[in-house]
Amino acid sequence: MLKRFVTSQRAKTTRPGVVFWTLATGWNFLARARKKSLFPVRRFIQANRLLPEPNSRQPAVNKSVGVLFVTAGKDLEMLQWSIPFAVRSLRTLSSTVKISVVVPSMDLKYCQELLANLPNVEIVSEDSYIKKEVVDALRLRFQDRFGWALQQFLKVAFVLESNLDAILIVDADTVLLDERNWILDNGKQILTPSDEFNLSYYEFLSSIGIGEIIPKYTFVSHHMLMQPNYLRLAFKQTGKSFPDEILELVLNHDFQNSSSPFCLEYEVYGQFLFNHHPDKVELLKWANLGIPRQTNLADQIEREVHKNTGRYSSLSFHTYL
């Protein structure tokens, strides 16, 4: 029952209040008695009481913008939908969007065939952005979570090397439903706090000078607009070079969570910008709906987009739900 209620509170027009707090607190009372994990009541309410849209500010103009997908395997088929929706979400910021897809070399041909009908899509191999030594080291250290770790390094490498003003990174399984003014005329950019909290992420980030162990907001949001200049400043703040010295820190750190040990892209950027340049941040409600992915994907996406446009800002079709 709580899960269904939680989902409804993530909708754009819903703001969790006293009723939600009472139900969630009662749930935690029972969970504590049964020695189960607690629901993050305060963090959830704080993130989901944000407004879904900014006040009537105009979008910044004359920005060079790109959209980036780093993906592989089972998520490749989602690109047929996630790419067009991501490009549409940037329409108020730029009429011309550079689309980049980074995949393993073994998926390159299949991805090219899959996206043949989508115009202006650049599909490149992972080898173009990360050295083999880095790949081998991550594979040895993280084993079955190697692909997950590698994708984070790839996203960071791509943004750091980019000469664009901004890049919208989107997880391949996520469909963006809203056109958004991602960068406003006052210089602020949108960040959408999530309500996830993984202590391992923030313990590591605080150790390298990015954010706090218990941050006010968290930013694992399945998509994020990044301005390369700010990401470069974030890694400069650590005093470590990317990828070599950051890789060394990751390889040697004693992470508290072995299945999801660190977040090098979304949380590094979000925590740095929020804590060090708060005047450049416009916090908006995440309003994301997670949906278990079904076999008949085309029909499912059409159905869910029709049903949830206007209710949520993004849909994530996860295979692990």
Res 272 pLDDT > 70: yes
pLDDT at 182: 93
pTM: 0.95
pLDDT, averaged across the chain? 94
- Tell me: the pLDDT tens digits for 285-317? 999 999 999 999 999 999 999 999 999 999 999
* Helical (H) or strand (E) element with 65: strand 65-70
Domain spans, the chain: 2-48, 65-318
| Whether residue 48 has pLDDT greater than 70 | yes
Q: Which of 6-20, 50-64, 111-125 has the lowest mean pLDDT?
A: 50-64
In the numeric block, the tokens 């709906």 are attached to 289
Length of the chain, in residues: 321
Residue 29 φ/ψ, nearest 5 degrees: -60, -45
Q: Which amino acid is at 113?
A: E
Grade residue 57 by pLDDT with cuts at 50, 70 and 90: confident
> b/e for 6-22, b at 16 or more Cβ within 10 A?
beebbbbebebeeebee
Between 299 and 259, name the one with better pLDDT. 299
State phi, psi for 223 to the nearest 5 degrees.
-165, 150
How does pLDDT run across 231-249, given as a tens digit for each residue? 999 999 999 999 999 999 9
Amino acid sitting at position 29:
F
Q: Which structure tokens are listed for 262? A: 């660190």
Q: Cα(321)–Cα(319) distance, rounded to whole angstroms?
A: 6
- Helix, strand, or coil here: 135? helix
Give residue-wise pLDDT tens across range 132-162.
Answer: 999 999 999 999 999 999 999 999 999 999 9
Using H for helix, E for strand and C for coil, what is the string for 284-314? CCCCEEEEECCCCHHHHHHHHHHHHECCECE
What is the CATH number assigned to the segment(s) 65-318? 3.90.550
Q: What is the pLDDT of residue 183?
A: 92
